[in-house]
Amino acid sequence: MSDTILDIRNFSMIFGGLHAVNCVNIHIDKCEIVALIGPNGAGKTTLFNCITGLYTPTEGDITVYNSNKKTVRINGLNPNKITELGLARTFQNIRLFNSMTALENVMIGCHTRLKAGILGAILRDGKTRAEEQGVIDTSMGILKKLKLERYANETASNLPYGPQRLLEIARAMATEPQLLLLDEPAAGMNLAETKRLDYIISKIRDEEQITILLIEHDMNLVMSIAERIYVLDYGELIAEGTPAEIKANPAVIKAYLGE
Amino acid sequence: MKASFFKTLRTTLLNALWMMLITFPIMVIKVKPRESLVSWRWMNLLWVGIGTFSLSWIWRYLLSRRDKGSKLNAGRGREVLGLLWGKKKIRAVLLAALTLLVIWFPWIVNLYQVGIITSGLMFVILGLGLNIVIGYGGLLHLGYAAFYAMGAYNYALMYLYWGMQFWLALPLGAVSGALFGILIGFPVLRLRGDYLAIVTLAFGEIMRLLLLNLSDFTKGAEGIAQIPRAAFIRALSLQEATNYLFYICAVLVAFSIFIIRRLENSRIGRALEAMREDEIAAQSMGINLTRNKLITFALGAFWAGLAGVILAAKTTYINPGSFTLLESVMILVAVVLGGMGSIPGVILGALLVTLIPEYFRALSDYRMLMFGVVLVIMPIFRPRGIIPKLRKHYTVKEVDCSS
Ligand SMILES: Nc1ncnc2c1ncn2[C@@H]1O[C@H](COP(=O)(O)OP(=O)(O)O)[C@@H](O)[C@H]1O
Ligand SMILES: [Mg+2]
């Protein structure tokens, strides 16, 4: 189990004078479910944005270990390159392709693994057609896995809130990631939906061998599925450990409840 | 209900009063310096008041109607059309009828009409091209006429210096348009929305000014005359050449529809749309923004270059005055009016924009005004255009889930 796939060393992100994340070390092993928790404004999303290439870290190294043991330092790489390396994410404030259908949203996720160029699109030769059909089938399969198939031809913006969050996960899964980064996936979900999310996340890990790093405020969810937890507060990593250790950690209790 | 009525009345009255106040100096006071007289035209004040009041009232009425739930039936007509079009037999009959009509058309109308419709078709090509940039890529491009100019000058200059033929100039114009699109794409890669609009607008003007001022090379404002029409084996008479160009245009329109439809429903088309919807999410899904933006510009400019060559061959004379901002705006209006991203919409839009001013000559002086009104009204009342884009409906084979 100690195959590291993501290693973050001495990582800092500074906005102007604000240390959003300060000298943080995080490592994630293959097939783990790791949670990142902390009060609002702690720097969790910022960390995600740096890992996925939306921001370039001020300091430190973020290293990805590929499935074939190739190490790549991903600081400052373009987001699309990082996605190609097997990292995919969802967004805290849902960012679906709103006027496209749910199925098309998932099909976009397949983009990097397809080859058809302009010429292929125009000629629509056998290979391109087969590829297109493959995309539709794969995408539909992913929708089915998340029980979203009835929304397949529905415009994404017309979906209820919970299914929109799930659709973001479906879209990310279409990139065939090794590591899935989920930014507050349960935010705005009702109790039943959260329960199902719990099940879905475990299933994704168990069946697809996708490692998961999630930011979440719902402590029930975190405690039930996370195997390890990192706690951020004001950009500092204040604790790390199993759910039981975190629950008992005085620093964490102080950060959450105040003094 | 009543409260909202009085509220509307109040706002409308206030609007009218404001307008009266603002236009007071120009509408009411008239100074006649020679007779050193000032005449006060109070009646004008009244007209401004009444006019503003009624317009404002109508505006509010339309807005409230829009909010009440016209949402439900929006695009239903389009769906019926789509359904009919979906039936293979009906489609074949419609296409055959259309083809016959196109073939017959030059024989049943006069030369002048053929010329006008040819311009209309040219605009359809331009509209379809700009639609790739705006409708799919979501990049608001206001200098589209520069690409159009590129194609036209390409043919004209190559003819002038090397005696280039139309049929060779056509693909060359299109390709040089696309290359120029990429060239212009590089500096604006990081821009979006209003900023992109302003910069591309400037590009359009720079292009025109260059054509105007590099007069040793481009002949400046004087323009280039006697560009040959398209020849078919031998040189054609005016009548024949006009008809011939009409046919060429019709075929090119069909060609562009074919190509663009295929691009739309492909990996590339989807990537462009994703980019339009949300750049950050698109990037995070593995889409290379730089590459796709350049592709968008190149694909858009390709058609403008093509249309430019046709323009040069049609009018046989071009000068920088043919590629002003008005041209870019007209194409933009065609796209917005018809429906961004919708191929049938853009075709209708392009035909409306070119043919209405032609057939209602009296209106053509007010073109800019009308275009302005359209660009303001459409996004509010019919944001998806006259014929909105219909999303592709994927039918999926029912795979047995229980296994
Ligand atoms: N692009 C940015 N520019 C400046 N400050 C930012 C930026 N993004 C986030 N921040 C700041 O960084 C801190 C951490 O934010 P964030 O990572 O969103 O917290 P959270 O842990 O709630 O996800 C906040 O104080 C926020 O205001
Ligand atoms: Mg956050």
**Of residues A108, A128, A155, nearest to B274 (C-beta):** A108
Q: Which residues of A touch B277 (CB under 8 A)?
A: 96-100
Q: Which of B68, B97, B126 is the last residue of a domain?
A: B68
Please determine, for residue B310, whether its predicted confidence score (pLDDT) is greater than 90.
Answer: yes
Mean pLDDT of B26-43: 84
Q: Which ligand is nearest to the CA of A24?
A: 1
- Residue A190 and residue A80 share a domain: yes
**Of residues A124, A135, A175, nearest to B285 (C-beta):** A175
User: Which residue did the predictor score with more confidence, B152 or B2?
Assistant: B152
- Residue A115 and residue A2 share a domain: no
- Residue A58 and residue A9 share a domain: yes
Percent of chain B with pLDDT over 70: 94
Min distance B233 CA to chain A CA atoms (Å):
30
For residue A92, is it within any domain? no
- Residue B369 and residue B279 share a domain: yes
| A5/A67 Cα distance (integer angstroms) | 8
pLDDT at A259: 58
- Residue B60 and residue B115 share a domain: no
Please determine, for residue B207, whether its predicted confidence score (pLDDT) is greater than 60.
Answer: yes
Amino acid at site B201: L
Average pLDDT of the residues of chain B? 87
Tokens linked to B398? 């029912």
* Residue in the block written with tokens 């195997």: A227
Min distance A94 CA to chain B CA atoms (Å):
9
Give me ligand 2 centre to Cα B61, in Å: 42
Considering all CA atoms of chain B, what is the largest pairwise distance in Å, rounded to the nearest integer?
Answer: 98
Q: Is A43 in the pocket of ligand 1 (CB under 6 A)?
A: yes
Write out pLDDT tens, residues B134-167. 999 999 999 999 999 999 999 999 999 998 889 9
Write out pLDDT tens, residues B314-373. 999 999 998 999 889 999 999 999 988 899 999 999 999 998 888 887 777 788 888 888
pLDDT at A1: 45
| B386/B345 Cα distance (integer angstroms) | 6
What φ, ψ does residue A238 adopt, rounded to 5°?
A: -100, -15
Write out pLDDT tens, residues B246-279. 999 999 999 999 999 999 889 999 999 999 999 9
For residue B94, is it within any domain? no
Q: Which ligand is nearest to the CA of A41?
A: 1
Give me ligand 1 centre to Cα A38, in Å: 13
- Residue B370 and residue B260 share a domain: yes
Least confident of A148-152, B102-106, B247-251: B102-106
For residue A236, is it within any domain? yes
Min distance A66 CA to chain B CA atoms (Å):
17
Q: Does B403 touch chain A (CB under 8 A)?
A: no
* Residue in B closest to A152 by C-alpha: B394
| B55/B60 Cα distance (integer angstroms) | 9
Min distance A204 CA to chain B CA atoms (Å):
17
For residue B336, is it within any domain? yes
Q: Which of B41, B68, B95 is the last residue of a domain?
A: B68
For residue B188, is it within any domain? yes
- Residue A122 and residue A81 share a domain: no
- Per-residue confidence band for A151, with pLDDT thresholds at 50, 70 and 90: very high
Q: Which ligand is nearest to the CA of A38?
A: 1
- Residue B169 and residue B238 share a domain: yes
Q: CA B112, B113, B114 angle in degrees (round to 5)?
A: 90
Give the containing element (helix H, strand E) for A2: none
- CATH number, residue A206: 3.40.50.300
Residue B135 DSSP symbol: I
User: Which residue has its alpha carbon closest to ligand 1 atom 7?
Assistant: A15
Give me ligand 1 centre to Cα A174, in Å: 28
Give me ligand 1 centre to Cα A167, in Å: 25
* Residue in the block written with tokens 């002003």: B324
pLDDT at A69: 67
- Structural domain including A254 reads 1-86+177-259
For residue B88, is it within any domain? no
- Residue A102 and residue A228 share a domain: no
Counted across chains A and B, CB pairs separated by less than 8 A come out at 122
User: Which residue has its alpha carbon closest to ligand 1 atom 5?
Assistant: A15
| B289/B295 Cα distance (integer angstroms) | 10
Q: CA B85, B89, B95 angle in degrees (round to 5)?
A: 65
- Per-residue confidence band for A37, with pLDDT thresholds at 50, 70 and 90: very high
Please determine, for residue B77, whether its predicted confidence score (pLDDT) is greater than 70.
Answer: no
For residue B96, is it within any domain? no
Ligand 1: which atom is nearest the Cα of residue A13? 12
Q: Is A56 in the pocket of ligand 1 (CB under 6 A)?
A: no
> Three-state SS string across chain A, please?
CCCEEEEEEEEEEEECCEEEEEEEEEEEECCCEEEEECCCCCCHHHHHHHHCCCCCCCEEEEEEECCCCCEEECCCCCHHHHHHCCEEECCCCCCCCCCCEHHHHHHHHCHHHCCCCHHHHHHCCHHHHHHHHHHHHHHHHHHHHCCCHHHCCCEHHHCCHHHHHHHHHHHHHCCCCCEEEEECCCCCCCHHHHHHHHHHHHHHHHHHCCEEEEECCCHHHHHHHCCEEEEEECCEEEEEECHHHHHHCHHHHHHHHCC
Q: Is A42 in the pocket of ligand 1 (CB under 6 A)?
A: yes
For residue B262, is it within any domain? yes
- Residue A199 and residue A141 share a domain: no
| B339/B134 Cα distance (integer angstroms) | 11
For chain B, the distance separating the N- and C-terminal CA atoms, rounded to the nearest angstrom, is: 58
Please determine, for residue A258, whether its predicted confidence score (pLDDT) is greater than 80.
Answer: no
Q: Which of A175, A197, A217 is the last residue of a domain?
A: A175
Give the containing element (helix H, strand E) for A88: strand A87-89
What φ, ψ does residue A214 adopt, rounded to 5°?
A: -130, 145
pLDDT at B76: 60
A20 Cβ contact partners less than 8 Å away, ≥ 6 residues apart: A13, A14, A43, A46, A235
- Residue A248 and residue A219 share a domain: yes
What's the gap between Cα A178 and its chain centre? 10
Mean pLDDT of B64-75: 62
pLDDT at B38: 85
Percent of chain B with pLDDT over 90: 43
**Residues B133 and B139 sit within 8 Å (Cβ to Cβ):** yes
Q: Which of A122, A150, A175 is the last residue of a domain?
A: A175
Please determine, for residue B400, whether its predicted confidence score (pLDDT) is greater than 50.
Answer: no
For residue A91, is it within any domain? no
- Residue A102 and residue A70 share a domain: no
For residue A93, is it within any domain? no
Q: Which residues of A touch B262 (CB under 8 A)?
A: 121-122, 124
- Residue A258 and residue A223 share a domain: yes
- Structural domain including B49 reads 2-68
Please determine, for residue B401, whether its predicted confidence score (pLDDT) is greater than 70.
Answer: no
- Residue B317 and residue B370 share a domain: yes
Which residues lie across from B318 on neighbouring strands? B224
Total domains, chain A: 2
- Residue B178 and residue B52 share a domain: no
Q: Is A37 in the pocket of ligand 1 (CB under 6 A)?
A: no
- Residue A182 and residue A170 share a domain: no
Contact between B283 and A54 using a beta-carbon 8 Å cutoff? yes
Mean pLDDT of A125-154: 90
User: Which residue did the predictor score with more confidence, A188 or B67?
Assistant: A188
| A96/A169 Cα distance (integer angstroms) | 10
| A159/A168 Cα distance (integer angstroms) | 12
**Of residues B266, B283, B399, nearest to A121 (C-beta):** B266
Mutate to test the pocket of ligand 1, among A45, A92, A182, A184 (most ligand atoms within 8 A of CB): A45
- CATH number, residue B160: 1.10.3470
- Residue B117 and residue B34 share a domain: no
For residue B332, is it within any domain? yes
For residue B283, is it within any domain? yes
Total domains, chain B: 2
Which residues lie across from A29 on neighbouring strands? A4
| B107/A163 Cα distance (integer angstroms) | 58
Q: Does B71 touch chain A (CB under 8 A)?
A: no
- Residue B113 and residue B46 share a domain: no
Which residues lie across from B311 on neighbouring strands? none
- Residue B137 and residue B54 share a domain: no
Ligand 1: which atom is nearest the Cα of residue A42? 21
- Residue A181 and residue A170 share a domain: no
Q: Is A60 in the pocket of ligand 1 (CB under 6 A)?
A: no
Amino acid at site A157: S
| B74/A246 Cα distance (integer angstroms) | 54
- Residue B124 and residue B33 share a domain: no
- Residue B167 and residue B53 share a domain: no
- Strand A211-215 with A179-183, pairing: parallel
For residue A63, is it within any domain? yes
Give the containing element (helix H, strand E) for A213: strand A211-215
Contact between A152 and B394 using a beta-carbon 8 Å cutoff? yes
Q: Does B287 touch chain A (CB under 8 A)?
A: yes
Min distance B300 CA to chain A CA atoms (Å):
13
- Residue B19 and residue B141 share a domain: no
| B63/B70 Cα distance (integer angstroms) | 11
B214 Cβ contact partners less than 8 Å away, ≥ 6 residues apart: B220
Q: Is A46 in the pocket of ligand 1 (CB under 6 A)?
A: yes
Least confident of A114-118, A133-137, B214-218, B295-299: A114-118
| B82/B90 Cα distance (integer angstroms) | 11
**Of residues B270, B283, B295, nearest to A80 (C-beta):** B283
